[in-house]
Amino acid sequence: MSRPTDAWRAEHDSFARLLDIFSREVDRFHAGEHPDYELMRDVLTYLRHFPERTHHPREDVAFARLLQYDRSLEPVVSRFLQEHRVIGEAARAAQALLEAVEGDEFVAREEVEAACATLLVYYRHHLAGENSLVLPLAAKHLTPADWDAVGRAVSAATDPLFGDQVDERYRELRERIEAKARR
Ligand SMILES: [Fe+2]
Ligand SMILES: [Fe+2]
């Protein structure tokens, strides 16, 4: 039987796959090759919007419920909530720089690489932290009623990338993900 935390972890795995794709393009940029800017933009657009609308609101409820069981988790929860703002800002900054590069504005390569690396490090660290720290606590404390509340945090939202109906703009990215899975 699948547990509620399985779906949560599966979303983290999806985000991690996107970060891997993004990372590969950053490596190409670092090597002086021409990365697939469109693909990078699609990854960032997705990561800036979809988790913001669905994943994070559900986590907000799960975190709040966890605190009801254990107030000592306050510093941990506030750290993860702060990280949501940090990864959002890091993605925005990386996207702005990549758009500037694409628009032929002068941007130092180091600045672009630093912004992309910062995003990758923060995001991966955030996912790893939630997987190792938050999910086991949620599995231990949250009741079916809590999980219902987590589910109700967001009205049924279709995932434009990993869902059954892939949004036109994410078609290439989805194909890349599936090709990678087949390897
Ligand atoms: Fe999170
Ligand atoms: Fe998360």
Q: Does domain 4-182 have CATH number 1.20.120.520?
A: yes
Q: Give yes or no for residue 183 having a pLDDT over 90.
A: no
Residue 151's nearest CA partner among 49, 63, 61, 48 is: 61
Expressed in angstroms and rounded, the spacing between residue 140 Cα and the centre of ligand 2 is 17
**Structure confidence at residue 3 as a pLDDT band (50, 70, 90):** confident
Q: Hey, what long-range contacts does 115-121 have (CB within 8 A, 24 or more apart)?
A: 115/90, 116/22, 116/26, 116/29, 117/26, 118/90, 118/93, 118/94, 119/22, 119/87, 119/90, 119/91, 119/93, 119/94, 120/19, 120/22, 120/23, 120/26
- Mean pLDDT (the chain) is 93
Expressed in angstroms and rounded, the spacing between residue 87 Cα and the centre of ligand 1 is 9
Distance CA 106, CA 108 (A): 7
Q: Which ligand is nearest to the CA of 12?
A: 2
Compute how many other C-beta atoms are within 10 angstroms of the C-beta atom of residue 113.
16
Q: Which ligand is nearest to the CA of 135?
A: 2
Expressed in angstroms and rounded, the spacing between residue 10 Cα and the centre of ligand 2 is 10
Expressed in angstroms and rounded, the spacing between residue 60 Cα and the centre of ligand 2 is 10
3-class state of residue 80 by DSSP: helix
Residue 39's nearest CA partner among 19, 64, 69 is: 19
Residue spans per domain, the chain = 4-182
pLDDT, one tens digit per residue, over 127-182 is 999 999 999 999 999 999 999 999 999 877 788 898 888 999 899 889 988 887 77
Distance CA 35, CA 77 (A): 37
Average pLDDT value for residue range 52-77 = 95
Chain mean position to CA 61: 18
